[in-house]
Structure 1
Amino acid sequence: MAQRSVHVAVLVFAAALMTTAVTACSMSDFVGGAVERTTYPPVTPIPQPPPGVSILPADFPSDIPVVKGTYRQDAEGDSRTLAVRGVDASAVAAAGKLLTDAGFEHQTVMGQDAYLNSKYTVMVVGDDLGGTFTLRYTVMSMTGVPSMPSMIFPPLI
């Protein structure tokens, strides 16, 4: 019992000593005054994206159902990326239901939800970067994508 009291006393003393050492000295004191200022440039915050609108962009495919929210199209070209804000995490499941109800087939591709039909592949991802939840649709056209050929093998005998 006496030995345990000594261990406790030593731990309390060490904790008090470390607390005093850490609070009484700055980092500059630890390195002999060599640090006067940081060598890293100041970090600028990521700018907020432009505000969205409550109607879908005119060039977004109308046969792809989208959850209600505030829309902003991020990219142009062969694929379309649509960001939907003003939604919460349950919007991922709601988007999946809308797409499967519209005849899209659900598949998981490398941990991502993908929905396919004969015209489009739609990837649906949700994120909460920046403190607010955003649902992102990435739509790729299936036109021009080669399909698997069908082959008929003749009998060998």
Structure 2
Amino acid sequence: MLPIEQGLHQETIRQHVMATADRLEAQLGPEQFAYDGGSQREIEASPESPAPINVGLDGGYVRGRERLPGANGCFEVSAGKSVPEEGEAKVFAFVHRVDRKPKRRLRAVLESQGILPRQHITSLCDGGDTVRELGAFLHSRSEHILD
């Protein structure tokens, strides 16, 4: 992402990071408002998944660098980890005020782990509004557990 053979000014680094973010954002696709596992016939014809995927979600507030008038200077960050029975765990995070596609981002993580239409997903969260809504989106065959 960054050239390492020379020292860079912080603005150059910011521009490289923003260009990379724009490229990745363009690859993500449009935001989804519900997980669509396909038609009922496609779901029933898909192979039964052997084990569930566990997804942990949590949110927190971080003090920001800039403080807008009338604001407290904090922003909300959601972070999570998707852990399949087999394969590699993946982590993800996003800032709610900035990210316009949080559900699509989570779906991309699950798709990269090979989620199937009949796969069972267990979602663990603390019950906060933003993480609870994201957990409800996960999958048509998902179970939500408050930690």
- TM-score between the two structures when normalised by the length of structure 1: 0.23
- TM-score between the two structures when normalised by the length of structure 2: 0.24
Bigger relative contact order, structure 1 or 2 (CA pairs below 8 A, ≥6 apart): 2
Larger radius of gyration between Structure 1 and Structure 2 = 1
